DNA sequence: ATGGCTGCTTTGAGCAGA
């Protein structure tokens, strides 16, 4: 079972790339962030025509998340939107069960800068996510949290750690929040395996960030212990970032052995 | 030192992203 996450920065613009990527990779589950689409205009027909089902929640202009699942994998079950107990107008979380695996698709707030109100919202949001996930893991021991975390967990996930030190995406409180998720018993699938140095999942559109590999690793797949035991690979696919009109994020994909 | 790109918005300059 191949499960993946991709911040597409507008599904309206990136839908052809998403469909091409699914056909190429044959991913079973793809979590999308920043769809930027209201539910009434979500391209469900095109996705179904490609052999996938979808659960989604969105809004105009900002945020928006979706879970796509290959029809052969069966129904998308027990769909839940948002973080229970955390009222939030921003559509950043959707969860569902596919093939016995609880999939949580998350778009963590960006935070803008460490001295902004948005940063405080990000930290509150992450605390609520952790508390909610603690309970979800009791209900669903086979749980994967996939998405755009907007956190580079360690300096090795940053092209220029000195420049980014204490900046948003890299600050100590954000990294502590990331470790708080690991403390729930989750494992960073990417770090289960030997990986190339200077591996990133996001590159700034400006200043030829991608060509110079000036990036950050901020998109992650965290696995509960039973799933980590089944994980045989985790990769960042940089190919879509090379396309015309790319998202600024690359997809991340983990492979799980049969249970 | 600043902004450097992209997508979006009751179309056009400003926002948000990271």
**Alpha-carbon A109 to chain mean position:** 12
Q: Kindly report, residue by residue over A187-235, the tens digit of the pLDDT.
A: 999 999 999 999 999 999 999 999 999 999 999 999 999 999 999 999 9
Q: At A64, is the pLDDT very low, low, confident or very high (cuts 50, 70, 90)?
A: very high
Q: Is A257 exposed, middle or buried (0-12, 13-18, 19+ CB in 10 A)?
A: exposed
pLDDT cut 70: percent of chain A above it: 100
Mean pLDDT of A114-124: 97
A65: enclosing H helix or E strand: strand A65-70
Instruction: List Cβ neighbours of A119 (8 Å cut-off, separation of 6 or more).
Output: A111, A112, A113, A168
Does residue A259 register a pLDDT over 80? no
CATH code for position A245: 3.60.10.10
* Distance from C-alpha of A219 to C-alpha of A108, rounded to nearest angstrom: 10
- According to DSSP, residue A227 is labeled H
Average pLDDT, chain A: 97
**Alpha-carbon A88 to chain mean position:** 19
Q: At A252, is the pLDDT very low, low, confident or very high (cuts 50, 70, 90)?
A: very high
Q: At A170, is the pLDDT very low, low, confident or very high (cuts 50, 70, 90)?
A: very high
- Active-site choice (A28, A148, A157, A219): A148
Contact A53, A167 (CB under 8 A): no
∠ Cα A164 A104 A54 (to 5°): 115
Contact A67, A55 (CB under 8 A): yes
- Domains identified in chain A, total number: 1
Q: Is A220 a catalytic residue?
A: no
Tell me the nt nearest to A152, Cα to C1'.
B18
Q: Kindly report, residue by residue over A133-147, the tens digit of the pLDDT.
A: 999 999 999 999 999
A122: enclosing H helix or E strand: helix A117-139
* Distance from C-alpha of A65 to C-alpha of A56, rounded to nearest angstrom: 6
Range of the domain at A189: 2-256
Give Cα separations from A53 to A1, A50, A72 (angstroms).
Answer: 16, 9, 10
User: How distant is C1' of B17 from CA of A51, in Å?
Assistant: 31
Tell me the nt nearest to A113, Cα to C1'.
B18
Nucleic strand B interface residues, CB < 7 Å: A 7, 9-10, 12-13, 34, 36, 60-62, 109-110, 112-113, 118, 148, 150, 168-169, 202, 204-207, 216, 218, 245, 248-249
Give Cα separations from A165 to A157, A203, A245 (angstroms).
Answer: 12, 17, 30
* Distance from C-alpha of A124 to C-alpha of A206, rounded to nearest angstrom: 30
Mean pLDDT of A56-60: 97
* Distance from C-alpha of A107 to C-alpha of A34, rounded to nearest angstrom: 7
Mean pLDDT of A26-39: 98
The string over A49-80, giving b where at least 16 C-beta atoms fall within 10 Å of a residue's C-beta and e elsewhere, is ebebbbbbbbbeeebbbbbbbbeebeebeeeb
């Amino acid at each position: 079972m191949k499960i993946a996450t991709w911040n597409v920065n507008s599904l309206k613009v990136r839908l052809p790339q998403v469909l091409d990527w699914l056909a190429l990779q044959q991913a079973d589950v793809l979590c999308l962030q920043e769809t930027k689409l209201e539910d009434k205009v979500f391209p469900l027909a095109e996705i179904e025509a490609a052999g996938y089902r979808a659960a989604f929640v969105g809004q105009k202009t900002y945020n928006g998340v979706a879970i796509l699942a290959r029809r052969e994998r069966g129904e998308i079950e027990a769909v839940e939107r948002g973080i229970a107990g955390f009222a939030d107008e921003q559509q950043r979380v959707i969860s569902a069960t596919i093939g016995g695996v609880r999939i949580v698709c998350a778009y963590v707030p960006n935070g803008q800068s460490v001295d902004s109100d948005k940063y405080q919202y990000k930290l509150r949001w992450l605390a609520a996510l952790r508390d909610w996930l603690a309970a979800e893991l009791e209900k669903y021991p086979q749980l994967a949290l996939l998405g755009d975390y907007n956190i580079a967990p360690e300096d090795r996930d940053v092209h220029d750690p000195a420049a980014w030190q204490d900046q948003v995406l890299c600050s100590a409180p954000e990294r502590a929040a990331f470790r708080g998720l690991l403390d729930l018993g989750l494992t960073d699938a990417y770090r289960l395996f030997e990986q190339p140095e200077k591996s990133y999942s996001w590159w700034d559109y400006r200043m030829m960030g991608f060509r110079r590999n000036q990036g950050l690793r901020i998109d992650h797949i965290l696995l509960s212990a039973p799933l980590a035991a089944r994980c045989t690979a985790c990769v960042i696919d940089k190919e879509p970032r090379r396309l015309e009109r790319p998202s600024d994020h690359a997809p991340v994909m983990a492979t799980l052995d049969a249970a």
